[in-house]
Amino acid sequence: MIRLIGILAGLFFSVAVLWAFGNGAVATIGQGYLKEKTAESEFHLHPRELNLQSDGPFGTWDLAQLQRGFQVYKEVCAACHSLKYVAFRDLSALGYSEAEVKAIAAGFQVPGIDPNTGEANTRPGLPTDYFPSPYPNAVAARAANNNAVPPDLSLMTKARHDGAAYVHSLLTGYRNLDTFSIDGKHVKDEFPEFTTPEGGHFNPYFANLNIAMPPPLTAAGQVTYAEGQPKPTVDQMAKDVSAFLAWTAEPKKVKRTQVGWPVLGFLLFATILAWLAKNQVWAAIKPKKPRAA
């Protein structure tokens, strides 16, 4: 009797699980077919491919590119975006000397406290400080950016699908809404009601196609690179700052992979040794034959 009850209970739960799975699958498929087409679903573009030296399991940092990317961030992006999880002293990993790090830190004003009065003030940064926000609070940030708070960029390439490729595509992806088309289909022809709000900008790589941030990189030579470096075109500057943000999001990536491969090799070698030792230890022991019934 107990066995029968157990079998029936098992069948009940199995049917319930299958019903829930089937119902969810049907609902999902139905939504996919019945979902109303929108400008966002039809004209949102996937990020373009971006190949960086740090990509892949054997990637390494291109320190020259990271320094160029930091220069772009400092001269262009830092006016609106912070790097609150990056300390100035971390820049030494990019090849900057101790004196250069101190000079870079001193070029930023960070929140401080007046030791005489105890009042809040600002002071030149120290290597131990973190990159400050350009705004005192979110209210000020919204007031200066068309009611949008510029996000912190420290982990941006980890927070967005396709990471550095997304950042690069976004920075170079601003388009004219009136003329933009895909496969001969124009946005305004397919969706006449779609508009860019006042103060907004059309960018097909952004999720809802409209972004509050104006194009930050607008012309070649906007940032002056050192002699011997690539020409600072808009595309090159976007690549460099994307590589830099890939580093800020995961500064230990290259070191981790460099340590990981020897560890995997050691584990494989140890596994082979353990298997050979097992065969050696048990070689002289023959399994007993089962007795005949």
Q: What is the mean pLDDT of residues 59-68?
A: 96
Total count of residues recorded for the chain: 293
**pLDDT per position as a tens digit, 156-207:** 999 999 999 999 999 999 999 999 999 889 998 999 999 998 889 999 999 9
Tens of pLDDT, residues 9-25: 677 767 777 776 766 65
Residue 95: per-residue pLDDT: 95
Q: Is the pLDDT of residue 219 over 60?
A: yes
Question: SS in 3 state form for 170-204?
Answer: HHHCCCCCCCCEECCEEHHHHCCCCCCCCCCEECC
Average pLDDT over residues 136-141: 92
CATH number of 41-83+154-253: 1.10.760.10
Q: Which residue has the tokens 């999720």?
A: 207
H helices within the chain, ranges in order?
A: 2-34, 39-43, 63-75, 98-106, 138-144, 156-159, 163-172, 187-190, 234-249, 253-282
> The tokens 């089937």 sit on which residue?
22
More confident residue, 179 or 293: 179
- Cβ partners under 8 Å of residue 162, min gap 6: 46, 47, 169
Q: In the predicted model, is pLDDT for residue 34 greater than 50?
A: no
Identify the pLDDT of residue 33.
45
Q: What band does 28 get if pLDDT is binned at 50, 70 and 90? A: low
**Residue 74 to residues 69, 207, 270: CA-CA distances in angstroms?**
9, 26, 48
Q: By C-alpha distance, which of 107, 115, 98 is closest to 131?
A: 107
